[in-house]
Amino acid sequence: MGNSDTFKVRELYFHRTPPGQVDEAYRLLEGISGLEVTRSARPDCLIIRYEVTEYTLEGLENALIAQGFHLNATLLVKLKRTMIYYCESVQRCNSDTPPRQTKQTNSIYIKAWEQHPHGDSDATPKEWREYR
């Protein structure tokens, strides 16, 4: 990865319920370009590494929450999280990085969609879809 000032190593803390969400989040995040994810010694935590010019902790966590993951909400974790959000925001602002790069954050939604069973079929009966 790039510059040591913009390279971040962060911890994602998950709530203990529902069970299995740490493994599911790991599978979701592991294949995303520009994002490295490893397991922590703690069972409720993942370690992520990224360039702050490509991702932010806030954007990644919001994307995970939107996918139904439950993050740890203890006071200490929320304080750390808020401080990191602020510092990354200031760093991006000072480096003239756009405040939000949807292309990078959307890759989490795209990968999640690919993993969900779905079909591209129309449930409308065939005779209703035919134009005469």
CA–CA gap between residue 125 and residue 64 (Å, rounded):
36
Angle at 85 between CA 87 and CA 46, to 5 degrees: 115
Share the mean pLDDT of the chain. 85
CA–CA gap between residue 56 and residue 33 (Å, rounded):
14
pLDDT at 64: 95
pLDDT at 114: 72
What is the percent of the chain with per-residue pLDDT over 90, rounded to a whole number? 62
Greater pLDDT, 38 or 116 = 38
- pLDDT tens-digit profile of 47-74? 999 999 999 999 999 999 999 999 999 9
Greater pLDDT, 70 or 102 = 70
